[in-house]
Amino acid sequence: SQTIHQWPATLVQPVGSPLSLECTVEGTSNPNLYWYRQAAGRGLQLLFYSVGIGQISSEVPQNLSASRPQDRQFILSSKKLLLSDSGFYLCAWGGTSGAYEQYFGPGTRLTVT
Amino acid sequence: GENVEQHPSTLSVQEGDSAVIKCTYSDSASNYFPWYKQELGKRPQLIIDIRSNVGEKKDQRIAVTLNKTAKHFSLHITETQPEDSAVYFCAAVNSGTYKYIFGTGTRLKVLA
């Protein structure tokens, strides 16, 4: 069966510091991968999605970037965090070839101070 | 641009009553419509979904209906229980890009 991992689970970072969040998927190959951010009490904001290695679509022009160095690894980065970057970061994986279901990882709760 | 409107934003019902959440989408290329339940502090969980070639789907106390002509789809929960209290999100998925557009969420409270 498929499993999705995210780490760290929680993170407290000062403004201006860098960020690296990692997501890995097990039990499937060539998944679609997604990064979402959820501000407190708010909805799911799609940040990036990837349909293959090196293929990243950006939905929000801001100080975040994403990379997919391996088939089942998705990384979210920032060079300098802003206070507004605080939130619950969720990675998700989905199928391809007509399998549209998407499953979320456990999330990383980021607080920028 | 692509958009999914979801109503209501909050919904309170008495235990045992029914709850209905409605969504409207704009992207004509959407052909898959999932619903997620998110409990406080946890990840969203897929609870039911429907594809564009189906008008209705039921799984025990939950059902989803789709009107593709009107670009509307709805979640129906019958015989609500306190454990149904959560935030529910609808989504519309583009069949070509696999891009998800989520609604803004509905906070459901089931009062005992």
pLDDT in tens, B13-31: 999 999 999 999 999 999 9
- With pLDDT > 70 as the criterion, what percentage of chain A qualifies? 99
Query: Model confidence at A61, in pLDDT bands (50, 70, 90)?
Result: low
Report d(CA A76, CA A30) in Å as an integer: 18
pLDDT in tens, B34-92: 999 999 999 999 999 999 888 999 999 999 999 999 999 999 999 999 999 999 999 99
Residue A54 predicted with pLDDT over 90: no
B105 closest CB neighbour out of A32, A43, A103? A43
Q: Flag if A100 and B34 touch (Cβ within 8 Å).
A: yes
Q: Flag if B101 and A46 touch (Cβ within 8 Å).
A: yes
Report d(CA B24, CA B46) in Å as an integer: 19
Mean pLDDT across A20-29: 94
Considering only A48-52, A94-98, B103-107, which range has the smallest mean pLDDT?
A94-98
Give me the total of CB pairs closer than 8 Å, taking one residue from chain A and one from chain B. Answer: 49
Q: Which residues of A touch B101 (CB under 8 A)?
A: 46
Sign of CA dihedral B25, B68, B33, A61: negative
Mean pLDDT across A76-91: 96
Mean pLDDT across B5-10: 97
Residue B1 predicted with pLDDT over 80: no
Cβ–Cβ under 8 Å, residues B103 and B5:
yes
